[in-house]
């Protein structure tokens, strides 16, 4: 984590330098004359690759698909103009979510542990999207330029600290003795928070959700963490006060009654996240079984128990718990994916294949379904077919390092060694390790030998990566 902070602080200071700002076009507001939207985009992608290299991430395709789908649903009715979003799901049980310049949306697993309904979950993300739409980073840069240039670093550092969990002590250490400027920056941040709350509430209603979920989430978090010596990072960077709760409650109550408060899908995804943070599948099964004993009609607990049993290799028990769920909702994608996983693990591969083929007709663009199809093909020892399936998946997810990692493994199994090195290069570039990426393309070029067209394509991609690496190095100076 320590490597990330000085790198980004240097980048923030560079953005503040007059020479850098003079080349940026004015897009109609003062902040765009200092940090353009395109510069924010480049900054965000550079920052994401560095962050990916330093934090543990959640790679569950169903969780990734849910987060991406839910955020894009909010974006459709938001003021976010540049919708080239990228996501990072951080493997941490601590409550946190954040937005970084350039459309980077980060979610900790702990958000699902704390948000008890879908409405509470989306209220946090609506708030973060409001930070993006109002370009609070660029506006903060513009405000700080009128004070002290070195304090520019604290603005970006705040985003980094939110992601890495350093807390207020990190801000104090970075800022040093510039107490007056810190106070002004915090004042500006409070203004940003109020604006993000206001816009977030409006967008929740426009997206069909009950905006009352936002003050409900704030109220419960304040009660839950009121006496904690070290509250979650989200509450350090987004302080919840009585006045803030009252303001959001007043604004939310002006909305028409109704709107989505919760959904079955959210609760099923939440059960998957809860299982991830249990000490063992056995303990998770015990907890879900207790919930089911209390209410035998609790489908969420039954699903949680089934996936815990799959992870615990209790095939027959899991099958019995999935039966009533599938009988009630035969086409539910979440239940069917669990059944496919069960059939694969218990070596009922023909059953798994038949179910995958049926579901592909109903959900032709479903990412988790295509992912599990690749897993099945590999289980069937069909790496060449899996490689073809992954080529299709890459068209919709070209910047997903998890997909590129699997592409590399699959190409290796099918004997496509040049392709293996190419895929590894893409993976390493996405996680910020350009040295390894360029080296992998060297290996690919050696293998290409006298195949001039292939060698030329590899060489061109290598030059692109070297240019990307140099651009980042230049930004860091």
Q: What are the residue numbers of the active site? A: 128, 197
Task: Consult the annotation and say whether 131 binds a ligand.
Answer: yes
Token pair for 333: 């994608």
DSSP states of 272-312 = HHHHHTSS-HHHHHHHHHHHHHH-TT-HHHHHHHHHHHHHT
Going by the DSSP 8-state scheme, the letter that residue 35 receives in this structure is S
Token pair for 213: 């979920």
Nearest to 195 by CA among 152, 238, 160: 238
Cβ atoms of 75 and 85 closer than 8 Å: yes
Whole-angstrom Cα distance, residue 295 to residue 302? 10
Whole-angstrom Cα distance, residue 175 to residue 178? 6
Torsion angle in degrees (nearest 10) through CA of 51, 53, 54, 60: 90
Whole-angstrom Cα distance, residue 466 to residue 454? 18
SS3 231: coil
Whole-angstrom Cα distance, residue 235 to residue 59? 26
CA distances from 476 to 5, 11, 47, 312 (A): 12, 5, 11, 47
Task: Consult the annotation and say whether 193 binds a ligand.
Answer: yes
SS3 105: strand
> In this structure, how many other beta carbons lie within 10 angstroms of the beta carbon of residue 229?
4
Interior angle at CA 62, CA 61 and CA 64, nearest 5: 65
Task: Consult the annotation and say whether 238 binds a ligand.
Answer: no
> In this structure, how many other beta carbons lie within 10 angstroms of the beta carbon of residue 337?
22
Nearest to 310 by CA among 346, 279, 283: 346
H or E element at residue 44:
helix 37-52
Pairing of the two strands 86-90 and 104-108:
parallel
Whole-angstrom Cα distance, residue 338 to residue 309? 11
Cβ atoms of 427 and 408 closer than 8 Å: yes
Annotated binding site: 127, 131, 193
Residues tagged in the binding site annotation for Zn(2+): 127, 131, 193
């Amino acid at each position: 984590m320590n490597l990330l902070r000085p790198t980004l602080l240097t980048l923030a200071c560079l953005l503040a330098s007059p020479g850098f700002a003079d080349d940026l076009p004015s897009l109609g507001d003062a902040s765009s004359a200092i940090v353009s939207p395109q510069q924010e985009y480049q900054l965000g992608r550079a920052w994401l690759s560095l962050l990916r290299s330093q934090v543990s991430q959640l790679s569950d395709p169903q969780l990734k698909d849910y987060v991406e789908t839910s955020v894009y649903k909010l974006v459709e009715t938001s003021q976010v103009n540049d919708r080239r979003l990228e996501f990072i799901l951080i493997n941490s049980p601590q409550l946190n979510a954040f937005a970084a310049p350039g459309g980077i949306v980060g979610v900790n697993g702990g958000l699902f542990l704390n948000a008890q309904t879908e409405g509470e979950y989306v209220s946090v993300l609506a708030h973060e999207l409001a930070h993006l739409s109002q370009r609070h980073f660029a506006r903060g840069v513009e405000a700080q330029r009128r004070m002290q240039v070195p304090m520019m670093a604290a603005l970006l550092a705040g985003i980094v600290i939110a992601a890495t969990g350093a807390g207020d002590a990190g801000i104090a250490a970075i800022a040093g003795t510039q107490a007056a400027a810190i106070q002004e920056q915090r004042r500006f941040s409070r203004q940003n928070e109020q604006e993000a709350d206001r816009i977030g509430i409006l967008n929740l209603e426009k997206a069909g959700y009950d905006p009352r979920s936002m003050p409900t989430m704030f109220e419960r978090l304040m009660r839950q963490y009121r006496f904690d010596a070290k509250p979650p990072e989200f509450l350090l960077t987004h302080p919840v006060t009585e006045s803030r709760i009252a303001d959001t409650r007043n604004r939310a109550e002006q909305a028409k009654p109704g709107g989505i408060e919760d959904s079955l899908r959210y609760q099923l995804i939440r059960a998957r996240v809860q299982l991830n943070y249990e000490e063992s599948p056995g303990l998770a099964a015990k907890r879900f079984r207790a919930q089911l004993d209390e209410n035998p009609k609790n489908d969420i607990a039954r699903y949680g128990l089934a996936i815990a049993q799959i992870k615990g290799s209790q095939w027959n028990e899991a099958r019995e718990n999935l039966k009533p769920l599938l009988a009630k909702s035969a086409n539910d994608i979440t239940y069917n994916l669990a059944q496919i996983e069960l059939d694969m693990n218990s070596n009922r591969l023909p059953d798994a294949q038949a179910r995958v083929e049926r579901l592909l007709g109903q959900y032709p663009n479903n990412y988790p379904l295509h992912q599990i199809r690749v897993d099945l093909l590999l289980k069937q020892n069909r790496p060449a077919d899996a490689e073809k399936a992954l080529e299709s998946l890459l068209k919709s997810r070209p910047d997903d390092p998890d997909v590129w990692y699997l592409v590399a493994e699959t190409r290796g199994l099918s004997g496509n060694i040049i392709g293996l090195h190419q895929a590894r290069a893409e993976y390493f570039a996405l996680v910020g390790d350009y040295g390894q990426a360029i080296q992998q393309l060297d290996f690919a070029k050696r293998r290409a030998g006298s195949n001039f067209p292939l060698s030329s394509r590899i060489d061109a991609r290598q030059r692109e990566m070297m240019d990307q690496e140099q651009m980042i190095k230049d930004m860091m100076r």
